[in-house]
Structure 1
């Protein structure tokens, strides 16, 4: 994959997340890929995105930058997440997703980074009901 292909794959991820296209998101990941989330810990990617989809009503993601790792096997994206839960509650926060590419060119893993304190205070454990 070229650097442009990798950047495009990361941007596609955010487009599919905004579109609530859970199946499309999961297809971007290796079959054995995992996600590390501040809320949920380490989970299989398909399981994580199913939980996220069940907890969410709408998502709007704005990507500010996609940065490629110096070894060519990773990328990081700085974004703003405008998240509406099934309950109607809405939260806006910024974060960084860090992607590792697998040998097939799909994502082997993703780690999510953001300041969880304000979000946890407001959100609580909304995934518990998902």
Structure 2
């Protein structure tokens, strides 16, 4: 699986809720930075986040742009879904990935388009 396929597979796995498979795409010591959370470090933290902390109940990512360059990638897209409290959400996001030598995700940084200033 090439890098872009791995990225697309990640979002597919998130959308169907396959936590064990999506966590396997990350390096053992991967770092995930997401607004509103302390950095998640390692597969165990990622699994805990996706099982217990993520405020999203269900939804679908649509990728509009994926740019891959050497050991990194930038992704832009939208997410539409439902939160655990029942609210509907539609938002734009950007993710930035870096990769280990084996091709797993070494890091991921997520940004949401939200009015703050």
TM-score (norm 1): 0.78
Structure-1 separation of matches of 2:47 and 2:74: 19
Q: Deviations over 1:21-79 (max 9, x none)?
A: 1111100000100101112131125324532443332021101111012xx00011111
2:17 is aligned with 1:20: yes
**Could you tell me whether the CA contact under 8 Å between 1:20 and 1:59 is conserved in 2?**
no
Report which of the two has the higher share of strand.
2
SS, match of residue 41 in structure 1? coil
Structure-1 separation of matches of 2:18 and 2:107: 18
Q: Deviations over 1:91-117 (max 9, x none)?
A: 110011100000111100000012344
Could you say what the CA RMSD is over the residues aligned between the two structures, in angstroms?
A: 1.8
TM-score (norm 2): 0.86
**Could you tell me whether the CA contact under 8 Å between 1:80 and 1:94 is conserved in 2?**
yes
Pairs within 5 Å for 1:4-83: 5-46=2-43, 47-54=45-52, 55-69=55-69, 72-83=70-81
Report which of the two has the higher share of helix.
1
Structure-2 separation of matches of 1:80 and 1:116: 12
Q: How many residues matched?
A: 113
2:103 is aligned with 1:102: no
Structure-2 separation of matches of 1:49 and 1:64: 26
